[in-house]
Structure 1
Amino acid sequence: MAAHAGKKTPGKKESDKNTGSGWDETVSAASLAGKFDNYTTGLPSLVRYAQKGVKTSVFYTFANLINIPDKYLAELINTSTRTLTNYKELDKPLEPVKGEHLLKLIVLFKKGEEVFSNLHEFQEWLRKPLSHLRDKPVNWLITPGGVDLISQEVDRIAYGYSL
């Protein structure tokens, strides 16, 4: 599959939703280094941006950079691609809760890229079950609290704790 966001992945079943198979595993993601830095300087900054409204262009840029279909990323932040398209056409920002969720995902992926040396390795880790969570990390990303939990797991890896 080409690195086109928004395209349906052939052969993927509806039951694959939130199992980590939402993005094409054969295409490498770009780097997030130096990207989105103005949004990710800390929690107060992130919340302020979310409250002001995150533009849909942030969503589409992020989806493209991490090589994830728009539909799958939209599902992670509990919205639809139709809603995002409407917001884009109306130049309407994301609702604060959805914007915050998206920005937390961006922070997590930036951290994951740093800790795992690249996005591909981080995405591989997200798809592997963790015994103490009894699930794949990617399945926790559908809520902001789940993103926080996985961020803590990545911190533990960065500090040398085994999982």
Structure 2
Amino acid sequence: MEAIDLFSNNISYNAIDDKNIMSLISLVRQGIQFPVFVNFMEKSPFDLAEWSGFLHVSERTMQRYKKEERTFDALQSEKIVEIALLYKKGIEVFGNSHNFDTWLNTQNLALGKIKPKELFDSSFGIGLLKDELIRIEHGVLA
């Protein structure tokens, strides 16, 4: 199976079709290797400490994964893919990563005065952010 680049132009919420979703399911089931994750992490605005919170894994465990070049389990891999897709969607909506990163780090009234990135630790939170990005994209602001 060919590797999926989480930042490629053809993998996004808008481009997920049956073929792509099956590739993503396969990727999640195989698990994301730590070096692949590091490549993605370095392109994201989040450090290892933040990622450990998103993935519900201690920083010490993350360091061990790094040292041993381990593979994340399916649940952690799925969360990484969800965040990667959400991040790409945010860049599409806001026009660039800087604007989206600013939005992620700013308290949001529509989200109960929390920073959007604080919702990355749950699939429900990621879904809520995806819905919020779609509303912003269509000019429906709460």
Shorter-chain TM-score bucket reads: 0.7 to 0.9
Question: TM-score of the superposition, structure 1-length normalised?
Answer: 0.69
Contact 1:130 1:136 survives alignment (8 Å): yes
The equivalent of 1:106 in structure 2 is 84
Distance change >3 Å, CA 44–CA 56, structure 1 → 2: same
**1:57-68 map, 5 Å:** 57-68=35-46
**Percent identical residues:** 26
Cα RMSD of the aligned pairs, angstroms, is 2.5
Q: CA deviation at 1:35?
A: 6.7
**1:78-93 map, 5 Å:** 78-93=56-71
Q: Are residues 1:149 and 2:128 paired?
A: yes
The letter of the residue matching 1:64 is: E
Structure 1: tracts of 5 or more residues without a match: 1-31
The equivalent of 1:15 in structure 2 is none
Deviations 1:1-35 (A, max 9, x none): xxxxxxxxxxxxxxxxxxxxxxxxxxxxxxx8537
Higher helix share: 2
Distance 1:93 1:109 in 2: 22
Distance 1:69 1:76 in 2: 11
Q: CA deviation at 1:60?
A: 0.9
Distance 1:130 1:44 in 2: 34
Q: CA deviation at 1:95?
A: 1.0
Structure 2: tracts of 5 or more residues without a match: 1-5
Secondary structure in 1 matching 2:134: helix
Contact 1:33 1:110 survives alignment (8 Å): yes
Contact 1:60 1:70 survives alignment (8 Å): no
